[in-house]
């Protein structure tokens, strides 16, 4: 395992080193110490390596991630795993605003709470939150799954497209065009897999499913050009 002291060696050195790892690298395990809330830790990775960040991170940790597993032993600042393509990002603490925004793939696991706009415009990522999510979560979410073991804030799933939302607790309010949907056996199966991947101690049957009513302007074919 390689240990990287962020304070001593600097952010540019860290990201250059991690981004240079080839897919077939033998140096698969990295530990980052003295994170101290720094921005843009472990962004743009593209190799199946494991990066363990000791401490909390600032803006945009693990942004644009491909293949790598980034594990934050602390809380994450705004925009964690933004635009992730594949791989896994695990946050032991809480995540700030817009966690997993626009992410196309991979898995984002938040063991604490996520703040507002979690999964905004998500495009295929699976987001599993052990705690609560804040207001406007899954806003304009296009594809992928969001699992919330706690409660959801105001305007969940506003202007939603095809993403699936599973919430165990209460939903403060649903956003425009977001409705509760029937939980069919195939959804239980999907959720069972998501909960197992997220290491959640929850039963799929306890959740409700929310999705798009497909009633907004853009869903009406007569409005197409």
Distance CA 171, CA 34 (A): 37
132 binds another protein (CB under 8 A): no
137 binds another protein (CB under 8 A): no
Least Å distance between CB 66 and another protein?
26
Number of H helices, E strands in the chain: 3, 11
Q: Which is nearer to another protein, 57 or 121 (CB)?
A: 57
Distance CA 61, CA 90 (A): 11
* Residue from 6, 63, 71, 78 binding another protein (CB under 8 A): 78
Rg for the chain, CA atoms, rounded: 18
83 binds another protein (CB under 8 A): no
User: 89 to 118, contacts with another protein by CB under 8 A?
Assistant: 93-94, 96-97, 115-116
Q: Among the candidate windows 12-20, 35-43, 80-88, 118-126, which touches another protein by CB under 8 A?
A: 35-43
Q: Which string of x and - marks every residue 37-66 that binds another protein (by CB under 8 A)?
A: xx-----------------xxxx-------
Least Å distance between CB 219 and another protein?
26
What are the CA-CA distances from residue 146 to residues 118, 126, 153 (Å)? 9, 6, 14
Task: Yes or no: say if 200 and 130 are a contact pair by the CB < 8 Å rule.
Answer: yes
Q: What is the DSSP letter of 31?
A: E
> How many alpha carbons fall within 13 Å on the CB side of residue 159?
10
Least Å distance between CB 20 and another protein?
26
Q: Which is nearer to another protein, 132 or 145 (CB)?
A: 132
Structure tokens belonging to residue 218: 């853009």
Distance CA 2, CA 5 (A): 10
Indicate the SS3 state at residue 130: coil
134 binds another protein (CB under 8 A): yes
Least Å distance between CB 115 and another protein?
5
| Binding residues for another protein (CB under 8 A) | 36-38, 56-59, 75, 77-78, 93-94, 96-97, 115-116, 134-135
């Amino acid at each position: 395992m390689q240990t990287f002291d962020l304070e001593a060696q600097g952010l540019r050195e860290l990201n250059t080193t991690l981004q240079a790892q080839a897919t077939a690298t033998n140096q698969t395990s990295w530990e980052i110490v003295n994170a101290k809330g720094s921005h843009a830790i472990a962004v743009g990775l593209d190799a199946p390596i494991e990066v363990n960040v000791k401490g909390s991170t600032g803006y945009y940790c693990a942004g644009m991630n491909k293949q790598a597993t980034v594990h934050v032993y602390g809380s994450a600042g705004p925009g964690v795993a933004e635009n992730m393509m594949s791989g896994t990002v695990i946050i032991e603490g809480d995540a700030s605003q817009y966690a997993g925004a626009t992410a196309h793939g991979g898995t984002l696991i938040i063991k604490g709470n996520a703040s507002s706009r979690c999964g905004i415009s998500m495009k295929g990522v699976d987001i599993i939150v052990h705690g609560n999510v804040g207001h406007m979560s899954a806003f304009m979410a296009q594809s992928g799954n969001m699992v919330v073991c706690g409660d959801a804030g105001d305007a969940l799933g506003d202007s939603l497209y095809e993403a699936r939302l599973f919430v165990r607790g209460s939903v403060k309010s649903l956003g425009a065009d977001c409705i509760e949907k029937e939980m069919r056996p195939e959804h239980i199966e999907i959720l069972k897999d998501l909960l197992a991947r997220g290491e959640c101690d929850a039963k799929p049957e306890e959740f409700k499913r929310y999705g798009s009513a497909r009633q907004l302007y853009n869903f009406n074919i007569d409005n197409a050009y």
